[in-house]
Amino acid sequence: MKMLDALAPGDRDRELALTLDPLRIPAHIAIIMDGNGRWAKRRGLPRIAGHKVGVSTVRSVVEDCANLGVQALTLYAFSAENWKRPRTEVDMLWRLLRFYLRHELEDLQRNGIRLQSSGHVEALPERVYEELRAVERATARNQGMRLNLAINYSARIELVDAVNSLIDEARIEGRLSSLVIDEKMISRRLYTAGLPEPDLLIRTSGEMRVSNFLLWQIAYAELYVTDTLWPDFNRAELLRAILDFQRRERRFGGLSAELPVVGEQDREMEEIVVSSQ
C-alpha cells in the first residue's frame, strides 16, 4: 500500500494501516457524506462552514483511498432532493464544487485519478457543469482510482432511466413487443456501468438509512455507520471502517464456510434418525 510510504514509523495511522490485509482492500467504497450542518451548528457556525471543512475531508479521503489501492470511490455529493434546501446554501455548494474541481485537478492528475459523475448533471448551473466536464475530460486517460461524484443523483431516477433506455432501444430496433429485461441489461445501463459494485458503504453522522443512494448497486455491500460527522472523518476513521469490513464474512446469500454442506447435514440427520430407532 502506498499509504505506508507516507506514514512515519510509530504513527498511529501507520500502525492501524498495518493491521489491514492489502489483498482484501474493498474494490469500491461508497460514502454518504453526512453531518456538515450539524458539525457547524455544534460550533455556533453557519452551515456553510461545515460544508467548507467537508471539502477538505473529501480531499484527504480521496487521496487515502487511492493510496490504499481502492479501485473506485463514489461520494454522494448532492442528491436530487437537496434542491429543497435554502437557495443560498445550494448556491454555496455549487461554488464549493467549482473550487474543489479547480484546485484539485493537479492532485487528481498526479495520483492518476479519473473523475466521473453520476446523476443528472446537465441540470447544474452552466459554469459548474462546464467545470465538471472539463475535469472529466482532462482525467479521462488516467489509469488509477475512479472517483465517481454522485451529483443531482437519485437511485430511483437512475433505475427509471435504465429501464426507459432499454425500452427506447427496443422501440428503435423494432423489437419492443419481444423485449424481456434481465439484471445484466439494467446493470449495463446504470450511471455506474463499468465500475465494480460497492463492497463497502460508509455513512457518517450515525443516520441509519441509505437515502436513495445506489439502491441497485449496494445489494450486497457491507454497511458501516459511524457517529462521526463528515468534517471529522479522518484517515483513522477510514482505516477502521475498512478493518471492520475485512473482519466480516461475505456470503452473498450462501452458507458460511464453517457450516457443513447440505450433503453432510443430510448424513448427520440420517445418523440421528438411525440412532433414535
Q: In terms of Cα–Cα distance, which of 1, 76, 83, 96 is closest to 32?
A: 76
What sign for the dihedral angle of Cα 89, 94, 95, 97? positive
Residue at grid coordinates 452552466: 126
> How far is Cα of residue 20 from the mean position of the Cα atoms in its chain?
20
User: What is the Cα–Cα distance from 218 to 29, expressed in whole angstroms?
Assistant: 10
Instruction: Write the DSSP string, 208-270.
Output: ---TTSSTTTTTTPEEEE-SS-GGG--HHHHHHHHHHHHTSPP-TTS--TTSPPHHHHHHHHH
Task: Respond yes or no: is residue 244 known to be catalytic.
Answer: no
Is residue 157 classed as helix, strand or coil in its secondary structure? helix
Dihedral of the alpha carbons of 160, 166, 172, 178, in degrees to the nearest 10:
-120
57: its cell numbers: 475531508
CA atoms of 172 and 46, how far apart (whole Å): 52
Rounded distance, CA 265 to CA 196, Å? 35
**Catalytic: which of 5, 11, 13, 34?**
34
Dihedral (Cα; 141, 96, 117, 59), 10-degree rounding: 60
Name the catalytic one among 11, 36, 67, 82: 82
Which residue bears the cell 437557495? 87
Only one residue has cell 471539502, namely: 55
Specify whether 82 is catalytic. yes
Residue 5, C-alpha cell as written in the block: 510510504
State the catalytic residues: 34, 82
